[in-house]
Amino acid sequence: MAFFIPDESLQKVGEEILNNTWQRFPSLAKNQVALTWLVYDEPIIVNTGGALSVDEFWRHSIRGYSYRGDENLYPASVVKLFYLVAIKDWIETGMVESSSELERAIRDMIVESSNDATSLVVDVLTGTTSGPELTIAPFQTWAYQRNIVNRYYQSLGWEELQTINVNQKTWGDGPYGRERMYVGENLENRNRLTTSAITRLFHSIVGGVAVSPEASQAMMALLQRDVNQKVLAPNEEENQVNGFLGEALSKGDRLWSKAGWTSKVRLDSTYIEKSNGKAYHLTVFTEGAENSQNREILPFISSQISQFMEH
């Protein structure tokens, strides 16, 4: 049972948008894209500063549409959303102590999508560190510790989280030493997420029920983007707006997002408030080397949904 209600009218629009996308971008195969889209009808229950209790929040039904929303795909930097919620929970429950350095790393992990910052956050979350290869017994202990974030998400009991894997750091060049051991010879232990799992977690943050209303508000502040950043600054490779879903938005729209990209995937998860007051969530994955380098696919999908939400 999905946390949202599949909606026939949204499905019709979603399928039309995907068909337009496949026609416009022949390199994008039907199994190289996944999408989850939620529409918040009035009264909008999210981004209210945590006005609803947890039980009340989850009782509200949301309309949605999903295409391959349960397919496990490599999430690149979007996994940082999961580390963000976990570290906020660890701090709030006293499992770890906050510090200016940890807060700097949390900020840079989300705002700048820094892999180095993420490395520190994962170390703090798990009590593990990267380093040389380990012999079997110490490695098994290390691996159990590293897997604590997965155990945390499994404890939530959400159907969408049953098959995910969030126990690997994000890399520029790739893992070495014990990290290479842990990801597996054939990368079988690499991070895995679905668009629906990401959407539900993001939905809980926007709803003010991820960890606590205060923690959710702090996370929203980190995730907010400037929709006017549509051109990359000199020497800027990515800004999580240009080439992603936020690029299609208009002045006056508001955007909260976490994007990811590698040489083989390009993806983005967004919560959007249109200038007309309508609100929706959109998560889109694309796979394939040619598609990951294409900065037009995600804005093309986003533009069509944005136009639909203007009516």
CA distance 294 to 302: 14
Dihedral sign for Cα atoms in the order 208, 115, 283, 305:
positive
Do residues 122 and 158 lie in contact, with contact meaning Cβ atoms separated by under 8 Å?
no
User: pLDDT value at position 253?
Assistant: 96
Task: Note the Cα 101 to chain centre separation in Å.
Answer: 23
Do residues 265 and 292 lie in contact, with contact meaning Cβ atoms separated by under 8 Å?
yes
Do residues 195 and 68 lie in contact, with contact meaning Cβ atoms separated by under 8 Å?
yes
Residues with Cβ within 8 Å of 87's Cβ and at least 6 positions away in sequence, in order, are 96, 102, 106, 121, 124, 125
- Beta bridge partner(s), residue 283: 36, 269
User: pLDDT value at position 141?
Assistant: 98
pLDDT tens digits, residue range 169-194? Answer: 999 999 999 999 999 999 999 999 99
Do residues 134 and 142 lie in contact, with contact meaning Cβ atoms separated by under 8 Å?
yes
Q: pLDDT by residue for the chain (311 residues), tens digit each? A: 579 999 999 999 999 999 999 999 999 999 999 999 999 999 889 999 888 899 999 999 899 999 999 999 999 999 999 999 999 999 999 999 999 999 999 999 999 999 999 999 999 999 999 999 999 999 999 999 999 999 999 999 999 999 999 999 999 999 999 999 999 999 999 999 999 999 999 999 999 999 999 999 999 999 999 988 776 666 667 779 989 999 999 999 999 999 999 999 999 999 999 999 999 999 999 999 999 999 999 999 999 999 999 98
Peptide bond connecting 43 to the previous residue in cis, omega within 30 degrees of 0: yes
